[in-house]
Amino acid sequence: MHVAVTLQTFRAATRASKFVKYFTTLPEPKEPIIMSATIPGPKSLELKEKLGGVQMAETVQFFVDYECATGNYLCDVDGNVMLDTFMQIGSMPLGYNHPRLVGVFNNARSVKTLVNRPALGYFPGKDWATKLENILKEIAPKSLDNITTMMCGACANENAYKNIFITYMRKKRGEDACFTDEEIESAMRNCPPGAPNLSLLSFEGAFHGRTLGALATTHSKYIHKIDIPSLDWPMAPFPSYKYPLEEYERCNKEEDKTCLAQVEELIEAYCKKEKHVAGIVVEPIQGEGGDKHASPEFFQQLQCICKKNDISLLFDEVQTGGGCTGKFWCHEHFDLPSPPDVVTFSKKLQLGGFFHTSDFRPREPLRIFNTWMGDPAKILLLEQIVTVIKEDKLLKQVEKSGKVLKTGLLQFEKEYPHLVNSARGRGTFLAISFETPELRDTVVGNLRKLGIITSGCGKQSIRFRPALIFRETHANIVLDRLRKVLSEIKK
C-alpha cells in the first residue's frame, strides 16, 4: 500500500539520526528510505501523465517534494528519501533547504529585490555596483576584473563568444577605427564584412549549451544537434586517456601531443578557408561528454597555441566552477602561465555570466545586452553561498569526501575488473566507467532502487555531482550500495 511522505512522517523517520547539522532545516536520515515498490512510484507516474498533457515530459524521472528535502537527501512524492549525488545536474552547492539560503528572503528588502526584477542594462538598483564588486573580490578568477551577468550557462557562453568576436575584430580593424558604411550595411544582410567569416574552435565530446551559437560548439550527443542548422566551425579531438594514469603516462602524453597538433592544423586550415579562428572554447573537464580529463600540460600548451595565434582562450566552468573539484575554479589546478581570457559560469553560482578583463569589454553600448542581464535575487543567494563555503571550509570538505569516494571507486576496479574501470576525477567531481552502456544503465537504475541518485554521462560512465556539504559518511553509503549492486550483477 502506498504511503505518502509528510513533514511529520519525515521528521519521525529522521529523528534518530545523529547527523543533525546546522546546514539542514530538518535532520538528515541515517540512510536512504525507500517506500514505493518502483521508482518512479505511482504518484510520480500519475503526475507525469498529467504533465504530459501540457508539455513534453519524457525526460522526467520522478516528482519531488522539495518541502521535505534536506541537506544531501531528496524526497519524492511517493515517500522515497534518496541520497542525491547528482544535485539537480550539479547546480546545488549547499544541498536542499540550507537555512542560510532559506532565510535570504525573510526580510522586506530582499523580497523587494525578488519581486522588482530590473532590466539591469537600463535600470540597475542602487546597490548593484557594490554587489558585483563584492562578487569580483570574493570569487573572480585571478586578474579577470570584469564580470558580465546573464541568466544561464548557455547564454553565458553565447554572449562570451560574441565578446570574443567583437574583441578580435576590434583589434583587426584598429582600436580607434570606426565601422565602415559597407560593414554596417552588410551586417544587416548577414554577409561579410559586417558579418565576418570567423569561427571558434571547440572539442569533440564538448557540451557548451543548446542555444544556436553554443550548439555549434557542442558535440556530446547527436540528439542535441540533429535537424538544427549550424556553423562551419572547427572541432578538434579532446584527449582520451587510458587509466590508471600512472600506468599509461607515456601513452597519454602522446595523446596530448596528437590532439594539440590537430588544434594547430585546424587553426591553419580554417585560416586558409578564410574562416579565421578567433578563439578556443574548452571545458576543464568534459562533463556531459563522459567526464574526460586532460593534463595540466595539455591546457598549458593550449594556452601557448592561443597566444601564438593571438586568439582568445575561454574556459567553460559552468559545470566545474564553484568548488566541486576542490578549488573554486577547476582551471586553478593547471598552473597556467597566465590567466585565461574568459571564464564562463552558472549552475552552482545560481546565475550565469562570464569573467573577463577590461580588454574584452565592448566599446559600444547594446552589443552585449538583453532585458534582464542576470538576476539580483540570485546574487543574494550567491553571496550567502560564498560565505558558507568559506566559513564552513567546504573546499577542504570536498577534498576529504572526494578522497573517500574515489578510493572506493578505485577499489571496485580491483574487485570487479570485468565490470568497472577508469575511476577518475578531482574533488567530488568524479566518474567511473562500465564495460557496456547497458551495464551502466542497469547500475544507475539499481542504485536508485537502493536510494542513491546518480546519472550517466558519455557512452558508459556514471558521474557523481554531490553538494559541497557531502561528507565521508555519505560517500561510504554510496560505496556500500554500489558494492551491493556490483556484487549482485557478478552473480
| Active site residue ranges | 207, 316, 347, 371
- Distance from C-alpha of 21 to C-alpha of 24, rounded to nearest angstrom: 6
CA dist list (Å): 62 to 12, 57, 65, 169, 354: 23, 10, 10, 48, 33
CA dist list (Å): 21 to 72, 128, 400, 427: 11, 33, 18, 22
- Distance from C-alpha of 374 to C-alpha of 377, rounded to nearest angstrom: 9
What region, left, alpha or beta, does residue 357 occupy, with left being phi > 0 and alpha being psi -120 to 50 degrees? beta
- Distance from C-alpha of 266 to C-alpha of 258, rounded to nearest angstrom: 12
What region, left, alpha or beta, does residue 418 occupy, with left being phi > 0 and alpha being psi -120 to 50 degrees? alpha
Pairing of strands 81-84, 235-236: unpaired
- Distance from C-alpha of 29 to C-alpha of 7, rounded to nearest angstrom: 13
Task: Say whether 134 sits in a helix, a strand or coil.
Answer: helix
For the sheet containing 312-316, what is the strand order? 146-150, 352-356, 342-345, 312-316, 276-282, 198-203, 235-236
Residue count of the chain, please give it.
491
- Distance from C-alpha of 263 to C-alpha of 266, rounded to nearest angstrom: 5
Number of H helices and E strands in the chain, helices first, is 15, 16
Nearest-10 Cα torsion for 167, 163, 371, 215: 150
Determine if the peptide bond prior to 118 is cis (ω within 30°).
no
- Distance from C-alpha of 308 to C-alpha of 328, rounded to nearest angstrom: 28
Q: Could you tell me which residues come within 8 angstroms of residue 139 by beta carbon, excluding any fewer than 6 positions away?
A: 328, 349, 386
Q: Which three cell numbers stand for residue 276?
A: 579565421
Q: Could you tell me which residues come within 8 angstroms of residue 332 by beta carbon, excluding any fewer than 6 positions away?
A: 141
